[in-house]
Amino acid sequence: MPTLNVNLGARTYPIHIGPDLLSPSSGIPLSSFVERQVAIVTNEVVAPLYLARLSQPLKEAGILVSEIILPDGESHKNWKSLNHIYDRLLAERCDRTTSIIALGGGVVGDLAGFAAATYQRGVPFIQVPTTLLAQVDSSVGGKTGINHPRGKNMVGAFWQPRLVLADTDTLNTLPDRELSAGLAEVIKYGLIRDLPFLEWLEANMVKLMARDSAALSYAIERSCINKAAVVAGDELETAKQGGRALLNLGHTFGHAIETGMGYGVWLHGEAVAAGTMMAVELSRRLGWLSDANVERVQHLFEQARLPVRGPVLGSLRYLDLMGHDKKVIAGRLRLVLLRQLGNAVTWADASQVEIRAAIDACCE
| Site residues for a copy of itself per CB under 8 A | 35-36, 79, 83, 86-87, 90-91, 93, 95-97, 117-122, 143, 145, 148, 150-151, 153-158, 236-237, 323-324, 326, 328-331
Distance CA 143, CA 236 (A): 9
Distance CA 75, CA 309 (A): 23
Give the residue among 264, 243, 45 at the shortest CA–CA distance from 152.
264
* Shortest Cβ 70–a copy of itself spacing (Å): 17
Distance CA 163, CA 82 (A): 22
Question: 10 Å Cβ neighbour count for 185?
Answer: 27
* Shortest Cβ 35–a copy of itself spacing (Å): 7
* Shortest Cβ 151–a copy of itself spacing (Å): 6
* Shortest Cβ 355–a copy of itself spacing (Å): 18
Question: Smaller CB distance to a copy of itself: residue 122 or 196?
Answer: 122
Question: Smaller CB distance to a copy of itself: residue 119 or 218?
Answer: 119
Q: What is the 8-class DSSP label of residue 69?
A: E
* Shortest Cβ 345–a copy of itself spacing (Å): 20
Distance CA 98, CA 96 (A): 6
Helices 268-285 and 291-303 cross at an angle (nearest 10°) of 170
* Shortest Cβ 301–a copy of itself spacing (Å): 29
* Shortest Cβ 7–a copy of itself spacing (Å): 18
* Shortest Cβ 231–a copy of itself spacing (Å): 13
Distance CA 148, CA 75 (A): 10
Distance CA 124, CA 147 (A): 22
Side-chain half-sphere of 219: how many Cα atoms within 13 Å? 34
Question: Smaller CB distance to a copy of itself: residue 232 or 357?
Answer: 232
Question: Smaller CB distance to a copy of itself: residue 141 or 182?
Answer: 141
Question: Smaller CB distance to a copy of itself: residue 163 or 322?
Answer: 322
Question: Smaller CB distance to a copy of itself: residue 124 or 269?
Answer: 124
Question: Smaller CB distance to a copy of itself: residue 150 or 291?
Answer: 150
Question: Smaller CB distance to a copy of itself: residue 287 or 331?
Answer: 331
| 330: three-class secondary structure by DSSP | coil
* Shortest Cβ 292–a copy of itself spacing (Å): 37
Distance CA 129, CA 132 (A): 8
Distance CA 180, CA 302 (A): 10
Provide the residue type at 40 as one letter.
I
Q: Is 320 exposed, middle or buried (0-12, 13-18, 19+ CB in 10 A)?
A: middle
| 161: three-class secondary structure by DSSP | coil
Q: In what order do the strands lie in the sheet with 125-129?
A: 3-6, 13-18, 163-167, 125-129, 99-104, 37-43, 64-70
Q: Are 170 and 50 in contact, with CB atoms under 8 Å apart?
A: yes
Question: Smaller CB distance to a copy of itself: residue 24 or 151?
Answer: 151
